[in-house]
Amino acid sequence: MNNINGRTPNETVSVMTELVLPAQANLLGNLLGGQLVHLMDIAGALTCRRHSGGEVATVAIDKLEFKHPVKVGEIITVTSKMIWAGHTSMKVRIEVGAEDIKNHTSILTNTASLTFVALGEDGKPTAIPPLLPQTDVEIAAFEKEQKRYLAKKEKSKN
């Protein structure tokens, strides 16, 4: 664990950029969904490793939306930012944008929320630093996820 005092959401941001190649596409020339999920999972893990200072494992993909197809030849940017942290768990918001370099246009193609758990050297969940939301938007996202977490925890008791 690196910073016991916590980190801000902006300190957790990870950005990956990649050119979509034919080997990553389906017969329609669109990026395969599985390829995109793979990239989103890596970006989310990088964000959580940056926060926790150690290894992490994917626990859940809570929400994944495919808004627009991504075509071969477009440049995708996968941006991941932590929105919530508990004792060992972390939740990230991921956005994917596609850039058509010929037309100089960009579009939001996908969004997702993924949950990760921090792992100690023994491979078991380990404590992480707190997340320190700074802006009104970050605070609202954190509080929303905290309520969801507490409701899920209460439901699992019953």
The full set of domain ranges for the chain reads 9-157
Residue 40 has a pLDDT of 97
Query: Is 125 or 151 the better-scoring residue by pLDDT?
Result: 125
**Statement: residue 87 has pLDDT above 50:** yes
Residue 71 DSSP label: B
User: Mapped to the 3 state alphabet, what secondary structure does 101-157 carry?
Assistant: CCCCEEEEEEEEEEEEEEECCCCCECCCCCECCCCHHHHHHHHHHHHHHHHHHHHHH
For residues 60-80, average pLDDT? 94
The encoded tokens of residue 74 equal: 């477009």
pLDDT band of residue 4 (cuts 50, 70, 90) is low
Band of residue 2 on the pLDDT scale cut at 50, 70, 90: very low
Q: Which of 71-75, 96-100, 103-107, 153-157 has the lowest mean pLDDT?
A: 153-157
CATH no., domain 9-157: 3.10.129.10
